[in-house]
Amino acid sequence: MTNSTYRWVIVAAGGLLGCVAIGGMFSLPVFLQPMARETGWSVTGISSAMTIGFLAMAFTSMIWGTLSDRFGPLPVVLTGSVVLAASLALASQATSLLAFQFVFGALVGAATAAIFAPMMACVTGWFDTHRSLAVSLVSAGMGMAPMTMSPLAAWLISHHDWRTAMLIVAGVVGAIMIPVSFLVRRPPALQADHAEAAASTSGEPAMSLAQALRSPQFIILIATNFFCCATHSGPIIHTVSYAVTCGIPMVAAVTIYSVEGLAGMGGRIAFGLLGDRFGAKRVLVLGLLAQAFGALGYVFVRELAAFYAVAAIFGFIYAGTMPLYSVLIRENFPLRMMGTVIGGTAMAGSLGMATGPLAGGLIYDTFASYTWLYVGSWAVGIGAFLIMMTFRPMALARPTAVPAPA
């Protein structure tokens, strides 16, 4: 049943939903400078909306994942799609910084979280073969946001005020995500008639959800993902603004983000396939080490060509590490709790992502420079590498033997 050709429809739907959802939320870095000029709100204050958004993602990721385990992914991603479009529309009409921070932060962040964990869990359940490739393709779809939604936002902000531009982005999000949500289906192995049999014969670890959430493997994965995302959060959110401060025009600066995203697409697929060949843990460990030095590379660039070079390397590496977490989770935890476990690691990653917008804004407002942001990202990246070095695979349960007929 998991060899059905429909599984590739699930992959396409997951990639498209992730691309538009993340693109909607990550349009804020493009709006950052125009919003600050038009409203008088500080860069730190506007950036804080992203921090709040990542916190909202963190606190809702496991909830959405658990709901998808219980009710299936379709109602979860449909709800998230509707709320995301509505929240972006409301944020475009905010008349105060506090209102914007709440609507864009809390509501947009929570709605975006409804896509990632449920879809990644869903895709892993649809594939027995080519699993890493499938997860990597969904992740690559999500990585297309900088090449699609960000240029759209930049074009809109060049022709409209930020409120009109954000309202149009909200309409695009709703028009794409709501119909695509109806393509999502629960994995065949989790259908009520098959779930019990699949659990008893799959050779998956024999554990309860509570045991899984207390396991060293889960704790190491969430700690690693926190530090991993904290490493690339600041560079992702503030590089467009950094480039503008170096004298690069906004439209050109956004293309740096696009180069990073394009390289990231290749990185997600390449790292996923390398994980199949050499082992997900080994590739992830090396990727985390390389990511730290990739972030540090931004300290040394000022010209557009140099930004492109560092963005390509950094995007390839940091995006490449992301599919490997879901692969490791599927290899070490039972399918029936994928949504919750992936949601838990997504929670940690979102908390890590929440550090970048605020830290970058504070550093820039204090020093009028982003140098210490990238140096700090390097140090945090080394921490992620060291933590992941301690990961050991979960012992698998023996498949339950089927009694021979008398």
Rounded Cα–Cα distance for residues 313 and 355 (Å): 22
Q: What is the mean pLDDT of residues 24-42?
A: 84
| Residue 131 in this model has a pLDDT that exceeds 50 | yes
pLDDT score for 396: 58
CA distance linking residue 363 with residue 46, whole number of Å? 14
Q: What is the pLDDT of residue 103?
A: 92
In the numeric block, which tokens belong to residue 37? 């000029």
Identify the pLDDT of residue 199.
Answer: 47
> Does residue 262 carry a pLDDT above 90?
no
Residues in CB range of 185: below 8 A, 6 or more apart: 6, 10, 72, 73, 74, 122
The pLDDT, as a whole number, for residue 171 is 94
Q: Specify the higher pLDDT residue, 109 or 148.
A: 109
Quick one: what percent of the chain has pLDDT higher than 70?
92
How sure is the predictor about 292, in pLDDT bands with cuts at 50, 70 and 90? very high
Q: Which fold has domain 6-184+212-388?
A: Growth Hormone; Chain: A; (1.20.1250)
pLDDT at 397: 46
pLDDT in tens, 54-95: 888 888 988 998 999 888 899 999 999 999 999 999 998 888
Percent of the chain with pLDDT over 90: 33
The mean pLDDT of 304-333, rounded to a whole number, is 90
For the record, the structure tokens of 385 come out as: 């590498």
Closest by alpha carbon to 135, among 299, 279, 7?
7
Q: Looking at residue 206, what is its pLDDT?
A: 66
For 330-363, what is each residue's pLDDT tens digit?
888 888 888 889 888 888 987 888 788 778 878 8
Average of per-residue pLDDT values in the chain: 85
The model's confidence at residue 2, banded by pLDDT at 50, 70 and 90, is low
Q: pTM of the prediction? A: 0.75
Q: Is the pLDDT of residue 204 over 70?
A: no
CB atoms closer than 10 angstroms to residue 294:
26
Question: In terms of residues, how long is the chain?
Answer: 406
Domain ranges of the chain: 6-184+212-388
Note the pLDDT of residue 260.
85
Write b or e for each residue in 212-222: b if 16 or more Cβ atoms lie within 10 A of its Cβ, otherwise e: bbebebbbbbb
Which range of 33-47, 211-225, 252-266 scores highest in mean pLDDT? It is: 211-225
pLDDT, average across residues 311-324? 91
Angle between helices 304-332 and 280-296 (to 10 degrees): 150
Determine the Cα–Cα distance for residues 304 and 306; give it in Å rounded to an integer.
Answer: 5
Integer CA distances (angstroms), 204 to 21, 200, 201, 280, 393, in order = 32, 8, 8, 18, 12
Which band of pLDDT confidence, cut at 50, 70 and 90, is reported for residue 322? confident
Neighbours of 330 (CB within 10 A): 24
Judged against a pLDDT cut of 70, whether residue 398 lies above it is answered with no
